[in-house]
Amino acid sequence: MNETVVRLEKVVRTYGQGNVAVHALQEVSISIQSGEFVSIVGPSGCGKSTMLHLIGGLDSPTSGKVWVEDQDIAQLSSNQLSDLRLKRIGFVFQAFNLIPVLSALENVEFILQLQGVSSNERTSRALEVLRSVGLEDAANRRPGELSGGQQQRVAIARALVGKPLLLIADEPSANLDSAMTRELCELLQQVNRDYDITILTATHDPTVMSYATRRIPLEDGKILQDASK
């Protein structure tokens, strides 16, 4: 039986106060199981990114609870929360967020350096994961020498190298054309299957949605009908 990786209970996130209050999430409750490939779907401004930020510990709910791996993350100290993000959650952002002065290999190694992994093991693991995303030959290139699709693959490799429990991807196809988007989705599908990593994306791209095994539609901060294939 699959374990629950993420659980939200009556989560509310409100920005501002009074007449200018924006209710980004309203009474959201969901559970995500180990090994699922989930897409939070809906138009811009519906609360998708807010939900991912709360799950990733990058933001805090106004009310309600967020659990990651049976930990109420609101109860974690700042050091414990940083440790959770570093070791248990991999992030892929739509802007890639690669360090421009570092090579692809060094960008991937950076997470392992933060984890305190030895130099030899860092290089070995980083090369292995770059190989798995088809970029071993580009290991010594800097981000500016890579295409958008290649940069996204480096970002995914960086997220994977720390062997996270959960991979969070916020609008991963935003800067990619249709062919690169399909390649990205096939890669995420492969990662989900081969690494047994739970994947959670936020998207309004129909192609990304089609690869997910479960879709959770949001509208005005509320969950509509939760759909699985």
* Average confidence score pLDDT of the chain: 91
Residue 183 forms part of a structural domain: yes
Least confident of 33-42, 48-57, 175-184: 175-184
Higher pLDDT, 17 or 81: 81
Whether residue 41 is predicted with pLDDT greater than 60 in this model: the reply is yes
For residue 107, the domain's CATH number is 3.40.50.300
Give the global pTM: 0.89
Q: How many domains does the chain have?
A: 1
**What's the average model confidence in pLDDT over 4-16?**
94
Q: What is the pLDDT of residues 109-151, one digit of tens each?
A: 999 999 999 999 999 999 999 998 899 999 999 999 999 889 9
Question: Does some domain include residue 131?
Answer: yes
Domain with 92, as residue range(s), is: 35-59+77-215+224-228
Q: Please check whether residue 16 lies inside any domain of the structure.
A: no
Residue 1 has pLDDT above 60, yes or no: no
Helix (H), strand (E), coil (C) string for 110-161: HHHHHCCCCHHHHHHHHHHHHHHCCCHHHCCCCHHHCCHHHHHHHHHHHHHH
25 inside domain: no
Domain membership flag for residue 197: yes
Q: Is residue 22 part of a domain?
A: no
pLDDT in tens, 208-218: 999 999 999 99
CA atoms within 13 A on the CB side of 228: 4
Whether residue 205 lies inside any domain: the answer is: yes
Whether 92 is in a domain gets the answer yes
